[in-house]
Structure 1
Amino acid sequence: MPQRRLPKVHDLAPLMQFKKPSLDFKANRLAKAQTVYDLRRIARRRTPKAAFDYTEGAAEAEISLGRARQAFEDIQFNPSILRNVAEVSTGWDVLGAPVALPFGIAPTGFTRMMQTEGEIAGAHAAAAHGIPFSLSTMGTTGIEDVKAANPDGRNWFQLYMWKDRDRSMALVDRAAKAGFDTLLVTVDVPVAGARLRDKRNGFSIPPQLTLATVANAIPRPWWWYDFLTTEPLSFASLDRWSGTVGELLDTMFDPTVDFDDLRWIRDQWPGKVVVKGIQSLDDAKKVAEVGVDGIILSNHGGRQLDRAPIPFHLLPEIVREVGSEYEVHLDTGIMSGADIVAAIALGARFTLLGRAYLYGLMAGGEDGVNRMIEIVGEQVARTMRLLGVNALEELGPQHVTQLVRLAPRIHTSLSPTP
């Protein structure tokens, strides 16, 4: 039996180092966040339901989004051991210019509705971390204001082709004159998807006050204080709107846009052109013929066609078939640095984060976006070290196995007759 004795003060002192208290409540809550999902939980507590659901939700039954996230979980990493990974490089060139990390901030609409610092917070954070910031046609900060917030960094402009072509191209001209280096042409929006959460919440611009929204706002007074005491909500692309989000989108999206329009846009833009919303190998090949600089495999975060193809599943084949003709980027379902490393290993040159960015924004404004980038960047570097690689260029298909959960069913009635 061990001999017992009373503990001495000098023995206890090293074991009782109390953390210095801080009254910076925002810094305290952000410091506790270790994953994007932690930021999401903070965001949900601090944001009214209608605004949070606009970020969180997807189309119809939200199957596309669930499958996209599941695809990243259904992988196996294959590490190499006994490699010197004291130093790792998480950057390389994307569309002809360097990035410090293999991800950027995706274009998001109605951003200041989520948190009043909006796109300015995202642009500042992107500049601080050496990654691109993308401004949406449906963004809530002007093109020139985003450039002023990120004067020396990389700014990308995302374009929805409107029925009013002159108005669309006026935006393109403004972005070019402001020095945006890349145009993201989104092609998966002939009409707005059925975003049922927004319809059930009565989500509109400006917000509709009902008994339910008031009751939901009571425990979140800081959100309403920020919303009501800052500049009124405005848009990068239109002066004002009174109606639901879906009605706004349906007045803007043009179901007649085709490949000739894409060629025309390509000729109008002086910088890099990337097509966002590719969901098949056939379309990836057709876009290559137009002569763009890159594509983004995306199903719009699951917010357009429910049960759409899973971008991460499409990635290896499309890279193999057309990766030599342009850069292949990826979005939808990415929630960690490990997801990004898996995408790079299977051939993606770059990735975009939308919901993860907004979770950080809602959790703590610009500081929250910085925290999101820090978390995901640390995850990228750690995953690379654990795989035994020093640079993104060393990642390859040998590092990732995509496990099969969903596979196409072969109908015997369609099999050839022997």
Structure 2
Amino acid sequence: MLNISRSPLHGKVDLSEYTHSQVVFHRKHFMTIDRFLIVFGIILLIILFLPWTQIVSGNGQVTTLTPDQRPQTIQSPIPGRIEKWYVKEGEFVNKGDTILHISEIKNEYFDPQLVERTGQQIEAKSMSVKSYEEKVKALNNQIEALVTERRLKLNMASNKLIQARLKVQSDSIDFEAAKTNIEIAKRRYDRIESLEGEGLYSLRDLEENKLKLQETEAKLISQENKLLSSINEVINAEIEINRVQAEYTDKISKAQSDLYTAQSGQFDTSAQVTKLENERTNYEMRNDMYFIRAPQSGIINKAIRGGIGETFKEGERLVGIMPDGYDMAVETFVEPIDLPLMYIGAKVRIQFDGWPAIVFSGWPNVSYGTYGGKIVAIENFISDNGKYRVLISPDPEAETWPSDVRVGSGAFTMALLEDVPIWFELWRKLNGFPPNYYKPENLTKLDSK
């Protein structure tokens, strides 16, 4: 039948007598096939010029639009032991509801009256602070009294110094007068002595003048002694001033030293009071942490640590909660080569896991079971899977997302790009070229501004 042998069968046997050969080799049959192929080719040519929307696909999962609406775990900031559970898995709790009660496992916090005993220590230290305050006041009064007494003593010593200096001046004047008197007495004695030799004065007159001369010399010596005594009094007054200054400086310095010691003790005790108050506040807050409460309203997903009497460390996850009232979003991941094609506000079609969809890639308008979204955030740093994360929110202009979709379910996304002919898309796929890079007109104008 294929006529590939060197002895063709149709050259020896007449095939036209057979019914099947008449059907196969009939002229009209070829005409039908030719017409079919021509129509199919025309239809295929028309299809090649139909518009096709380029897409960037990605796989992701359903999440929430804001971080505080995403599923979270509740931890305990302190280590402890589980004593009692107040909720069950799947139960709805309001913000502030108690989830479980824990007890202490550290021996320094075992005392049930730890807060009260710390308060008593604070009261005792506060009384010590008051005692130091009174001591500081007494020392300040003592210092003021010493300063006043020093001022009065110095005034008294200064007055004595002035008096001594005035007395020195008076004695020095008397001393000069005594010097003058002794000179006068000497001249008189010499004159009488010479006249007595001539017989003009008697010996008695000479002896009287000699006696007066000796009395005048005695007065000169006495006046000189008074002057020296007055000078000594001046020196003594100056020494007294220095002594008073040094004495009261020493007393005031000692009182100030006691004052600084008392103030140091006061400040140290005040610091201890502050430290104890801080510890008491920490103890009160720690006692409040024995009750693990819901940070926000939601549903208890899973008790990660169960049982009674089980111990755990600080920061360890205890229970998972799904917040109530969240705004759904989809996080998807795109290849680095497709990242320049992503922009805020781009339209995206989404297919959720568990929701059957008939998807015509490139014809989003005729796809069934997909939902619209738009890009609201693009991560600038590559993720651990080697792709870039893109966050998608519901498109208010498109259909509403299913209310039964749960956070964490998978999603397949298709970002809608430029409309091109089908032949161009086939040519791009065969050559391995990326989709066309472009920006919408309104976004381009915004960048230029």
Smaller-chain TM-score bracket = under 0.3
Q: Computing the radius of gyration over CA atoms, which structure comes out larger, 1 or 2?
A: 2
Instruction: Give the TM-score of the pair, scaled to structure 1.
Output: 0.15
Query: Larger helix proportion, structure 1 or 2?
Result: 2
